[in-house]
Amino acid sequence: MRSLNNLKNQSFPSISEQAWTEKAEQSLKGKSVESLQTTTYENIILKPLYTRQDECQVPEYPGGSDFRRGIYPLGYLTNDWKVAQRLSFQSVEDLQAKLKQAFIKGQTAISFYVSKSLLSGKQNLVKVLGDSYKRYPFSIDAKELQSTFLSELEGIVEQEDAGEKISGYIGSDPVAIFAKEGAISEAFLKDWDKNISKSAVKFPNLRTILIDTSAYHNGGASAAQELGIAIAEGIFYLEHLQDAGMDLDTIFTKMIFQFSIGSNFFMEIAKLRAARVLWSRVSSVYGANEDSSRMNISVETSTYTKTIHDPYVNLLRAGNEAFAAVVGGIQYLHVSPFDELTCVTSISDRIARNTQLLLKEEAHLQKVIDPAGGSWYVEHLTNELAEKAWGFFKHIDGHGGILEVLKSKWLQQEITAVSEKKIHDIQTRRKSIVGTNVYANLDEVVTYKNLPEKNSYFANDENSLINIEAIPNRRLAEPFEELRKKSANLEGKVGSKPTVGMICLGGLKQHKARLDFMKGFLAAGGLEALISNSVITVENARQFVLEHPASHYCLCGTNDQYEIIGHDILKILKTEYPERSFYLAGLPEKEKQDLWMDEGIKQFIHMKSNCYETLLSILSELEVGKVEETKA
């Protein structure tokens, strides 16, 4: 008993930051702690350690001051987030059945994709909704069909005078539509103004003004850019609708912000917290009352981060993103099914919905009020991100506002600059996408989904259009997915996977490390490594090339093996097979590189190589070789 009490009374000694720094630098073998710092796409420098010195002044409880800690004092205990899984459907009857089942299985909001076919028949919406609109809030981005949708809904509820029972949001974001479509329609915006004013009277408890940053997120924008754009759009709608005669507080109560949540866990938590800080700042400047200025947030997991290959990894990505969203503080959440890019099934729909239920019931996130509150790292990151986003908003405002920066292409160029950095990091594998640019499975069979033909929202509105540069819908994995398609096409023509011969120098211990690296490197583009036995002599290498003809070979071994036998092998093979391409795994010392290149090495493949460009070059040469072979 005495030993147990002694154990309970023990405490860890207090360690100074200086002591930690010294110990860390010992582990780093001479490098400074500053070498562990990283710079984000928002140009925020992340330190390896945050301490009490980084403590920020924050509100003592959620629902107070700048709302960073949430808009309700008791968080999800009194105002739980809504499970708002967007349902896809083949027919009205299919949607009706899916929605009914979804409510039974845990859905807590009416959410589905809106299409013209759904609204083409007068009784379609009646069949789908039944009386569910009296029990559940809406969570719908109606896009260009908002006016039609609200008109149909008005017809349903007017007989029972149930307009006040409609809650949640049925929103539309004209600016986001313009950005995606590559056209600004003054006529569409004017009709939208009338629709918002009308619905404010018909549906007093329904939000209709959507500020949706998903288009910019999926275009590759940074978190700071997303937030700056969200604030710029919000202010645009505030002033635009005020000019149209709407009351300021009414406009605030009709707004809802929609964000996509990416893979950077803490940055995404900070993004949602910073969004509320920024909107609180805007609200106070405009003199809105506290209740109407609380930022309501709807969130969806990102499509930008998802992959076609190894789709089960998307389960982990979506789970991580949903976790960040809930911790960040939200009102509505949609989790994308893991196979959304190929073919959504009832199982994947169920897993996506259950991800939220697990966060509620098993992770108990609805029982903890602001779990990120007070974290030195999160609070510091929130402040830094808010300042970066405010700076970006001021740039937008200084260039004339959100529509003007779209017209001038300034915004598109700013987003593209960040997107190119992200893509470069993926191509060079500084950032990993499991199952795509690392740990790719060559035996995987992939079914590619045919994308529907895109029809412009403004096809019949050409006379009043102002053409702008569209923000493309991107995904990080796309470059490598294109390589895999090329490889699959080649395999279909040749009957076997495209290969690169691996000339393995010395024993297994001597070449294994670089051989494993090369196998993973090639697999990212759908290329297979054709592996030799241990090559000890020039004759071993010549025999391998003779028995396993390929157009591309790579030498794998230690630096010592390269010097002992590598040069001799390369000279002989390049003399006998001048049309073949030879690579070297690793990066020799600078003074030795020219000699290798003179002897016939086409490229050194190493950790810092641009994996995408290297594989694209090899596959393109293989395609050309196949065409020439066919002609012959």
pLDDT digits (tens, 9 = 90+) for 240-284: 999 999 999 999 999 999 999 999 999 999 999 999 999 999 999
Contact status, residue 113 vs residue 86, Cβ threshold 8 Å: yes
**Calpha distance 196→170 (Å, rounded):** 11
pLDDT of residue 460: 63
Contact status, residue 48 vs residue 394, Cβ threshold 8 Å: no
Break the chain into its structural domains and give their ranges.
75-427, 484-631
pLDDT of residue 603: 97
**Calpha distance 248→241 (Å, rounded):** 8
pLDDT of residue 452: 61
pLDDT of residue 391: 98
Q: How far is CA 320 from CA 115, 204, 288, 421, 532, in A?
A: 30, 36, 35, 23, 41
The two tokens of residue 226 are 């997303």
CATH superfamily of 75-427: Methylmalonyl-CoA mutase (3.20.20.240)
CATH of domain 484-631: 3.40.50.280
**Calpha distance 539→545 (Å, rounded):** 10
pLDDT of residue 448: 73
pLDDT of residue 428: 97
The two tokens of residue 404 are 């003007």
Return the number of other C-beta atoms located less than 10 Å from residue 297's C-beta: 23
Specify the DSSP element, H or E, that contains 493: helix 478-494
pLDDT of residue 111: 97
What is the C-alpha end-to-end distance of the chain, expressed in Å? 89
pLDDT of residue 264: 96
pLDDT under 70: residue ranges of the chain: 1-2, 450-456, 459-463, 626-632
Helices (H), 182-329: 186-202, 214-217, 223-243, 248-253, 265-286, 313-328
Sheet containing 581-585, strands listed edge to edge, beginning at the edge strand earlier in sequence? 528-531, 499-504, 552-556, 581-585, 601-605
pLDDT of residue 543: 96
Positive/negative CA dihedral, 196, 199, 201, 207: negative
Specify the DSSP element, H or E, that contains 32: none
